[in-house]
Structure 1
Amino acid sequence: MSKKIHAFNDIIRKLRKDLLGKGPERIHSVFVDNMAISTLYGNLTPTEKFIAKTPEGKEMIHSARTKLIQDVYSTDPPEGLEELVGAKLVYLFSDIKVEEDIAVSVFVFDKEISMEEE
């Protein structure tokens, strides 16, 4: 894993830990053109897992996590994220599969992400 991807994953993990009380246990990210695609495993807190035992609870966790993450990134990208990739964050698409505790985020930047280490 490149240092840049490792640092990118650390930024994502820290933001989610600060925001939700628990960061993902594992993150796999790839840079493709002007996008960073991250798969996040082990996201849910014990309380969220308990709430998700009902269909209504699953929907509530899904809606809250998806909307919250998108709102946070749209108003204020995490500190150091744009500097790290050398581009401005334009869009974030995010979803979570509550049953499997897997989330995917697609970060779209205004230009191609260089894989060269700085």
Structure 2
Amino acid sequence: MGMSKKIHEFNNIIRKLRKDLFGKGPERIETTFVDHMAISTLYGNLTPTERFIADTDDGKEMILIARTRMIQDLYKESPPEGLEELVGAKLVHLFSDLKVDEDIAVSVFVFDRKI
């Protein structure tokens, strides 16, 4: 499988997982594979309800905490189906952050070997 096909499949797995978890997947995902990491930038993540809540500082904080914790907990239980098979490595860490105002999220997937 070519690199661009692999990235496309990787993005599809990430999109589906977030759609299932939050009711809406990101509008656009850009992923780069670097050594033993996959770095994904996700654009257009928030639901209309979340955007409404994000109008206040407390709301922003709540969305950031809820989203990052839900993602971390989900990946801690088990990586999404097909992810490790696709890259041929075991997922050991996931780091994720979200800029609520810009509606941009970044996830760094760390694997146990070069992918």
Q: Secondary structure at the match of 1:24?
A: coil
Q: Secondary structure at the match of 1:50?
A: helix
Q: Secondary structure at the match of 1:47?
A: helix
| Alignment RMSD | 0.7
Identity among equivalent positions (%) equals 79
1:64 equivalenced with 2:80 (yes/no): no
Q: Secondary structure at the match of 1:82?
A: helix
Q: Secondary structure at the match of 1:13?
A: helix
Shift of 1:74: 1.2
1:88 equivalenced with 2:93 (yes/no): no
Q: Secondary structure at the match of 1:100?
A: coil
Shift of 1:76: 1.1
Which runs of no fewer than 5 residues in structure 2 stay unpaired? none
1:55 to 54, 57, 80: 57
Aligned length: 113
2:32 to 30, 33, 38: 30
What TM-score do you get using the length of structure 1 for normalisation? 0.94
Which runs of no fewer than 5 residues in structure 1 stay unpaired? 114-118
**In structure 2, what is the Cα distance between the partners aligned to 1:23 and 1:76?**
19
